Structure 1
Amino acid sequence: MPASSATRPRALLVFTNLPDAASAEALANALIDRQLAACVNMLAPCTSVYRWQGATETATEVPLLIKTTPARYAALEAAIRAHHPYELPEIVAVPVTQGLPGYLDWVAAGTRDDD
């Protein structure tokens, strides 16, 4: 059954983490320049604890919050993978089903594919 317009995502909030501010800023700029994201928030560095290849790891990372649309997600994911230094980057998208209509319209306008 198709999603109703009330539950269909109007936007996506995509999370990823980068190892340092320089790579985070470079990725953010690439996404904005290609209109794959309307806005990217670079957050303060955080400490991540995770299991990788059977060992517990600890790393300082810079989280990014990326605002995009479902229509641009595939291209955004491909761009993150192409620019990300990690072998297996975290790329998690959360649907935005509600929000300030003007803001969601701005996200849509900022991610139009003008190609």
Structure 2
Amino acid sequence: MASIVIAQTTVDDETKAYEIARAAVEARLAAGVHVDARMTSFYWWKDAVQHEREYRLSFKTTTERVDELRAWVHERHPYEVPQWIVLPTAGTSQEYLAWAVQETTARNS
């Protein structure tokens, strides 16, 4: 049975964030994507603490599509090692789940 997950990544360019978000929805890999306001991230990279202004993308997708979405995002991602975190959801309404499944199902045009 399908369920919804939230998959997250970050990018440092607003235009790239919008491009990835829109294209993921157009490709029906995500039913929707939130692009959060710019934030500051601190992290270890190449033996030093780094910081970067980034945008978080939260993809609403199904468990059936999340692996394909991950591969698709990583092909387009500007980072050498993209963040990829998948969060389970709880208490999703049946109506919202049905919408997400419908919107992540490939259609013949």
The aligned residue for residue 32 of structure 1 is 25
> What residue ranges of structure 1 are gaps of 5+ in the alignment?
none
TM-score by length of 2: 0.93
Deviations 1:51-102 (A, max 9, x none): 0111000000001111000111111001110110000000110112421221
CA contact (8 A) 2:28 2:105 kept: yes
Percent identical among aligned pairs is: 31
| Structure-2 separation of matches of 1:10 and 1:101 | 10
| Structure-2 separation of matches of 1:101 and 1:42 | 25
The aligned residue for residue 15 of structure 1 is 8
> What residue ranges of structure 2 are gaps of 5+ in the alignment?
none
Moved over 6 A (4+): none
Residue 101 of structure 2 aligns to which amino acid in structure 1?
Answer: A
SS in 2 for 1:71: coil
CA contact (8 A) 1:40 1:64 kept: yes
| Structure-1 separation of matches of 2:59 and 2:69 | 10
Q: How many residues align?
A: 108
The aligned residue for residue 64 of structure 1 is 57
TM-score by length of 1: 0.88
RMSD across aligned positions (CA): 1.4
Verify: 1:94 aligned to 2:87, yes or no: yes
Verify: 1:103 aligned to 2:96, yes or no: yes
